[in-house]
Amino acid sequence: MTKLLFGFLLALTVVAATPSVSHAARVPFVFNSGQKIFRTGPLPEPFDKEEELQGYDAGYACDIKGVMWSYYSVTNCKPVAFQGDSYVDEEHLTAAIAAKYPESSMQRGLWGHYGWMLFLLAIVGGLAIWIKELLTGKKTEDATAGAPQGPVDTK
């Protein structure tokens, strides 16, 4: 079990060492904060036909906080038309987007929505193993401990 935990922590460290966006300082995790736009779908009519909005999608620009691109806090969302990192938030356009797409239709993805729970589970599990070892004074045995080594005579 400790080998599995060590492997997970090693992989996590490698990922954390090469982030594309990082607000972490001397922390083994990548903490994300700022603003992110989540897509909801194509622009509602009649805005999808406007020349200056060609190539734009509907979405919500939200303030985010998260770990390793999994967001545990998504707040202050406002409807926008966006393309890449730029967006348009004119009042009549945002009203049409909000009418067609509720905030619950944001496409956050499975990892973006629930991934932080895996980190929390790994931390709680690691702490539980550490506390167990402190209280019992025993190391957690490998799954192969006690298994016969070498060839076994089955006659």
Q: Mind listing the pLDDT tens digit of every residue in the chain (155 residues)?
A: 565 555 555 555 544 544 444 444 555 667 778 888 899 988 888 888 888 888 888 999 999 888 777 788 888 999 999 888 888 888 888 888 998 999 888 888 777 777 777 778 888 888 888 888 888 876 655 555 555 666 666 66
What region does 49 belong to: left with phi over 0, alpha with psi -120 to 50, or beta?
alpha
pTM flag (> 0.95): no
Could you tell me where the beta strands, DSSP code E, fall in the chain?
Answer: 31-42, 57-67, 70-83, 86-88
| Residue whose token pair is 């957690």 | 140
CA–CA gap between residue 129 and residue 43 (Å, rounded): 50
Q: Would you kindly state where each structural domain of the chain is located, as residue ranges?
A: 20-136
DSSP classification of residue 144:
T
Buried b (16+ CB within 10 A) or exposed e, 6-16: eeeeeebeeeb
Would you give the DSSP letter of residue 139? P
